[in-house]
Amino acid sequence: MSYPHPNKKITHLAFSDDSGHEDGRYNSLGLITFPFCYKKNFDYTLAKMFKESGVNNEFKWQKVRNIKYKFVAEKLYTFIFKHLDKLRIDVIIWDTEDKNFKQSNGTNIGKMYYHLVQNTLSKYWGNDSIWLWHPDKQSSMDWRTLGKCLVAKKHGLSTDLFGINQNNFMKLRLEMIKVVDSRKEIFVQVADYFAGLGAYSYGHFQRHRTWEGDQTQQAFFFKDIETINSWSNSEKIRFPLISLFDEFCKERSLGISLHTTNGLRTHNPSKASINFWLYKTRHSFQE
């Protein structure tokens, strides 16, 4: 897969997509970031993996409902955790039933993108990085306005639009925002997957916990008795993927909780290459 250098100034790439949980309560944004120099090799590896697994179309969280996509997701985990020294995954999740989220959906998404992108690109990669950001073209966001907010030399624009605390403002060297078709950009698909995983881990937390309990009971006590709980086909695929991801994180001591936080959450984003953050109003990004 050819990816010509868009600008000699660019040092880092970002890819993003947004996702909503099926029940409509939790929404999320996923962001994948890494230095530009890794793009060609990463693209080749993932494209080869998808093709060999029989996934010839777009890989998205919504499609993870059968065994083929489950196997691909498992391979994706192996790839991601192998390269945690080279890339970041950042996911912001918010509860649409929060009483303070009464603005229009577009404004909420803009605020979430601002928090996620501004903090990740500048605070975690450093101000020397020069960025090209590829969001999915399907998003409803006004990218021109958001871009102006992110690179504004004054605080006024972002403060007026999103109510951002001026004291948290950091200048971001964002050279270009170029929307892309997710069907043609693998890392937008990866961003979609982890955004969906994050929202789903909250929206289906109680059922996933019950499912885990059933697996333990069947393994130790009821090997010959079918569980009395009824799981949908998608839950039978997705619940094991949540548990597997949790195991990967614990094996590497990434500080990501699942059970104690009722969904995936990173306790110290500054020290982890994978960050799941449940946004709550009146709380800072670090919280």
Q: How far apart are CA 287 and CA 267, in angstroms?
A: 8
**The residue to which tokens 């110290």 are assigned:** 268
Instruction: Specify the pTM.
Output: 0.86
The residue-averaged pLDDT of 88-101 equals 85
Q: Mean pLDDT score of the chain, rounded to an integer?
A: 83
For 223-256, letters b (16+ CB in 10 Å) and e give: eeeeeeeeeeebbebbbbbbeebbebbeeeebbb
Count of CB atoms within 10 A of residue 221's CB?
8
Domain-wise residue ranges, the chain: 12-279
User: What pLDDT is stored for residue 242 in this prediction?
Assistant: 98
Amino acid (1-letter code) at residue 221: F
| The pLDDT of residue 64 | 95
- Residue 12: beta bridge partners? 35, 131
Q: What is the mean pLDDT of residues 142-148?
A: 83
Q: What is the pLDDT of residue 217?
A: 53
Q: How far apart are CA 56 and CA 48, in angstroms?
A: 10
Fold of 12-279: Nucleotidyltransferase; domain 5 (3.30.420)
> Strand locations in 49-156, DSSP E?
88-95, 131-135
Predicted pLDDT of residue 103: 53
> Which H or E element spans position 179?
none
